[in-house]
Amino acid sequence: MKGSDLPYITHVAMVANERIFADHKESVGFLEIALPTALLHDVLEDTSVTQAELAAVFGAQVASNVASLSKNMIVPFSEDRYLQGIADHSREAAAVKLCDRITNLQSAPHIWTKTKRASYLVESAKILSSLGHVNNDLRERLSVAMTNYQELYIDGL
């Protein structure tokens, strides 16, 4: 995890855990698609693995969901186009993006400036606005995470 001594696998496990927890409160699509998507959500951005390779191992639906969550698939990149693409793609992808942001808001990299932290919070608000409709519990959890992040990593500095 960026700015942490924890291994990378911790982040994807936390995202998957958030997704499992959310499903206990209110179904958000198919868990058999969402769970591998959660565990693989950064693979296309952070490694040389291709969407075709993902599809060969995990199936076309999982690979497609992971691709929808990958910012580097949108050229030229636009945050609005990215979030709209996730919203249009599937409830599973939208829920994973919400879980990813909930997890990411648990801490801020120590190297980030206050301005960077504030812009991350603004970006989080866009995610909430664009994708929060897919699950009431995830919408509430992200809202609380944003409030805590504001207090700890922006106001508290």
Which CATH number characterizes residue 54's domain?
1.10.3210.10
Number of domains, the chain: 1
Is 2 inside a domain boundary? no
Is 1 inside a domain boundary?
Answer: no
Domain span including residue 100 = 8-155
Mean pLDDT rounded to a whole number for the chain: 94
Residue at 83 is within a domain: yes
Is residue 3 included in any domain, yes or no?
A: no
Residue 52 lies in a domain: yes
Indicate if the pLDDT at residue 2 is higher than 70. no
Give residue 3's pLDDT band: very low, low, confident or very high (50, 70, 90). low
Residue 111 covered by a domain: yes
Is 1's pLDDT higher than 60? no
Q: Does residue 91 lie within any of the structural domains?
A: yes
Q: What is the DSSP string of the chain?
A: -TTSSS-HHHHHHHHHHHHHHHHHHS--S-HHHHHHHHHHTTHHHHSS--HHHHHHHH-HHHHHHHHHT-GGGSSS--HHHHHHHHHHH-HHHHHHHHHHHHHHTT---TT--HHHHHHHHHHHHHHHHHHGGG-HHHHHHHHHHHHHHIIIIIIT-
Residue-level pLDDT at 59 = 98
